[in-house]
Structure 1
Amino acid sequence: MKTLDQLRRDATALKKAFGAQAAEAVQRVISHRPRPEGEPLKHADFLHVIAREQGFATWPHLKAAVETEGLDRAQRQQRLVVALKNGQDHVTEQLLSADPTLPQDHFALSVLLYDRAAMAKMIATDPALATRPAPQLPPLTVLAQSRAIHLFPDREADMLAIADLLLSHGADPDYGAPQQGDHALSTLYFALGYGNNMALSEWLLDHGADPNDGESLYHATELGHHGGLRLLLAHGADPKGTNALLRAMDFHDVEAVQMLMDAGARADDFNADEVGGEVHWTVPALHQAARRMSPPDMVALLLRNGADPTRVYEGVTPYAYARIFGNSALAQQLEDAGHATPLTEVEALLAQVADGAVPERRYIDPSKLPAAARNIIREILHLPGKLPHLQRLAAVGVEYDRPDSAGVTPVQAAGWVGLPDVMQALLRLKPDLGHLNNYGGNLFSTILHGAENNPDQTRSDYIACLQLALDECVALPRRAIDQVGDPEIAAFLRNWAADKPGQVVETGPR
Structure 2
Amino acid sequence: MPTLDMPERPHLDRFRRQARALQRAVRAGDPESLARLARHHPGGVPDVAGGLRLSAAQLVVAREYGFASWPRLTRYLETVAEHGWATRLGATPATGPAAEFCRLACLTYSREDGPARWAQARRLLARQPDLTRADIWAAAAAARPDDVGRLLDERPRSAAERGGPFHWRPLFYLVYSRFDPDVPAERVLAVARQLLDAGADPGEGYLFDALPSPFTLLTGVFGHGELGRQRQPRHPHWLALGRLLLDAGADPNDAQTLYNRMFEPDDTHLELLFAYGLGTGDGGPWKRRIGELSTPAEMLRVQLRWAVEHRMPARVRLLVEHGVDFRSPFEGDGPAWSPGDGRTPVELAQLAGDTAIAGYLFAQGAAPPVPDPVRELIAAAFRADRAALDRVRAEHPGAVAEARRSRPGLIVWAAAQAPAETVTLLAGLGFDVNAYGRGDAPVEEPWQTALHHSAADGDVELTRRLLDLGADPDLRDRRFDATPLDWARHAHQPATAALLEPVTTPPPSGAPSTDPTTGDV
Give TM-score, length-normalised by structure 1: 0.59
Q: Which amino acid aligns with 1:345?
A: P
Q: Distance in 1 between matches of 2:102 and 2:485?
A: 26
Structure 2, unpaired ranges of 5+ = 1-6, 16-85, 225-232, 280-295, 439-443
- Is the deviation greater in 122-131 or in 180-189? 122-131
Per-residue Cα deviation, 1:353-397 (whole angstroms, up to 9, x for no partner): xxxxxxxxxxx698x622xx33312222123632x4325534624
Q: Which amino acid aligns with 2:188?
A: M
Residue of structure 1 in register with 2:194 after alignment = 165
Contact 2:380 2:388 in 1 (8 A): yes
Would you say 1:432 and 2:486 are equivalent positions?
A: no
Q: Which amino acid aligns with 1:304?
A: A
Q: Distance in 2 between matches of 1:343 and 1:218?
A: 41
Residue of structure 1 in register with 2:220 after alignment = 190
Contact 1:81 1:112 in 2 (8 A): yes
Structure 1 pair 261–119 and aligned structure 2 pair: CA distance change class (3 A): same
Would you say 1:145 and 2:186 are equivalent positions?
A: no
Q: Which amino acid aligns with 1:204?
A: L
Residue of structure 2 in register with 1:235 after alignment = 276
Structure 1 pair 462–243 and aligned structure 2 pair: CA distance change class (3 A): farther
Q: Distance in 2 between matches of 1:441 and 1:210?
A: 41
Structure 1 pair 278–288 and aligned structure 2 pair: CA distance change class (3 A): closer
Structure 1 pair 174–503 and aligned structure 2 pair: CA distance change class (3 A): same
Q: Distance in 2 between matches of 1:330 and 1:190?
A: 49
Would you say 1:245 and 2:304 are equivalent positions?
A: yes
Would you say 1:290 and 2:319 are equivalent positions?
A: no
The Cα shift of 1:132 comes to 0.7
Residue of structure 2 in register with 1:205 after alignment = 246
Q: Larger Cα Rg: Structure 1 or Structure 2?
A: 2
Per-residue Cα deviation, 1:154-179 (whole angstroms, up to 9, x for no partner): 52222122222222333222234324
Contact 1:414 1:420 in 2 (8 A): yes
Structure 1 pair 322–108 and aligned structure 2 pair: CA distance change class (3 A): farther
SS at match of 2:333: strand
SS at match of 2:326: coil
The Cα shift of 1:145 comes to 2.9
Q: Distance in 2 between matches of 1:469 and 1:102?
A: 48
Matches within 5 A, 1:44-123: 57-58=87-88, 62=92, 65=94, 68=96, 78-81=103-106, 88-89=114-115, 92-93=118-119, 96-97=122-123, 100-101=126-127, 104-105=131-132, 110-123=139-152
Contact 2:159 2:200 in 1 (8 A): no
CA RMSD in angstroms comes to 5.0
Q: Percent identity?
A: 18
SS at match of 1:345: coil
Residue of structure 1 in register with 2:34 after alignment = none
Residue of structure 1 in register with 2:364 after alignment = 305
Q: Distance in 2 between matches of 1:171 and 1:443?
A: 48
Contact 1:84 1:148 in 2 (8 A): no
Residue of structure 1 in register with 2:397 after alignment = 345
Contact 1:445 1:509 in 2 (8 A): no
SS at match of 1:246: helix
Residue of structure 1 in register with 2:448 after alignment = 409
Residue of structure 1 in register with 2:284 after alignment = none
Structure 1 pair 326–503 and aligned structure 2 pair: CA distance change class (3 A): same
Q: Distance in 2 between matches of 1:170 and 1:80?
A: 24
The Cα shift of 1:88 comes to 3.9
Q: Distance in 1 between matches of 2:214 and 2:418?
A: 34
Q: Distance in 2 between matches of 1:407 and 1:384?
A: 19
Residue of structure 2 in register with 1:389 after alignment = 422
Residue of structure 1 in register with 2:28 after alignment = none
Q: Distance in 2 between matches of 1:203 and 1:441?
A: 45
Q: Distance in 2 between matches of 1:278 and 1:136?
A: 33
The Cα shift of 1:232 comes to 1.4
Per-residue Cα deviation, 1:271-306 (whole angstroms, up to 9, x for no partner): 433457996437522233234442x44322110123
The Cα shift of 1:264 comes to 0.6
Structure 1 pair 442–156 and aligned structure 2 pair: CA distance change class (3 A): farther
Q: Which amino acid aligns with 1:187?
A: L
Structure 1 pair 446–505 and aligned structure 2 pair: CA distance change class (3 A): closer
Structure 1 pair 398–504 and aligned structure 2 pair: CA distance change class (3 A): closer
Structure 1 pair 83–184 and aligned structure 2 pair: CA distance change class (3 A): closer
SS at match of 2:118: helix
Residue of structure 1 in register with 2:320 after alignment = 261
Per-residue Cα deviation, 1:478-499 (whole angstroms, up to 9, x for no partner): xxxxxxxxxxxxxxxxxxxxxx
SS at match of 1:165: helix
Structure 1, unpaired ranges of 5+ = 1-32, 40-55, 350-363, 452-460, 476-499
Structure 1 pair 436–236 and aligned structure 2 pair: CA distance change class (3 A): same
Q: Distance in 2 between matches of 1:448 and 1:119?
A: 45
Structure 1 pair 122–297 and aligned structure 2 pair: CA distance change class (3 A): same
Structure 1 pair 187–298 and aligned structure 2 pair: CA distance change class (3 A): same
SS at match of 1:265: coil
Contact 1:268 1:307 in 2 (8 A): yes
The Cα shift of 1:89 comes to 4.2
SS at match of 2:350: helix
Contact 2:482 2:513 in 1 (8 A): no
Residue of structure 2 in register with 1:43 after alignment = none
Q: Distance in 1 between matches of 2:408 and 2:207?
A: 33
Aligned residue pair count? 390
Contact 1:131 1:170 in 2 (8 A): no
